[in-house]
Amino acid sequence: MAILNILKEGDDILRKICRPVEKIDKRILTLLDDMKETMILAKGIGLAAPQVGVLRRVVIVDNGEKILELINPEIIKTDETQEGPEACLSLPGKCGIVKRPLKVTVKATDRNGKEYTVFGEGLTARAFCHEIDHLNGILYTDLAIEMIDPKDDYEVADEEE
């Protein structure tokens, strides 16, 4: 495994739309392993392939219990809303308030080629949306209601849709 370079804001790759993974081969498996190691070292809760310079639809998300590997992820259901702070490994030192779904169901493929669905709520739902946005060239700053100082405390408010 290797630690990958995380691209920073201003790199054109972060604004490109990623292509689907057609075949899960050794390169994709290595990418998943390297992304996992990179995210853990960077103390993140999610990482998308374009953040490490790979324009493929691959993300990983730490849901607090395990690190989920999502190949060709697609949000298939959302419910309710939440508003809260987000940051990004590609935008160090920045933080913004973003409105996202409170509950999200994602369909994806695992490293063995098996399609599955996974449910996330709260921070995990936010991470799913944030990382899948990366696959479409969208950064959380595009959606932010306001930018805040990352050192400030922010009261998270959940609201019904």
Structure tokens at 8: 């920073």
Secondary structure element (H or E) that encloses residue 144, with its range: none
Q: Specify the residue for token string 């374009």.
A: 50
Closest CA to 10 of 88, 100, 98: 88
Any idea what DSSP says for residue 105? Answer: E
CB atoms within 10 A of CB 39: 23
**Catalytic residue among 131, 155, 159, 160, which?**
131
The whole-angstrom separation of Cα 54 and Cα 27 is 11
CB atoms within 10 A of CB 129: 22
Residue type, 49: A
Is 131 tagged catalytic?
A: yes
Active-site positions read 131
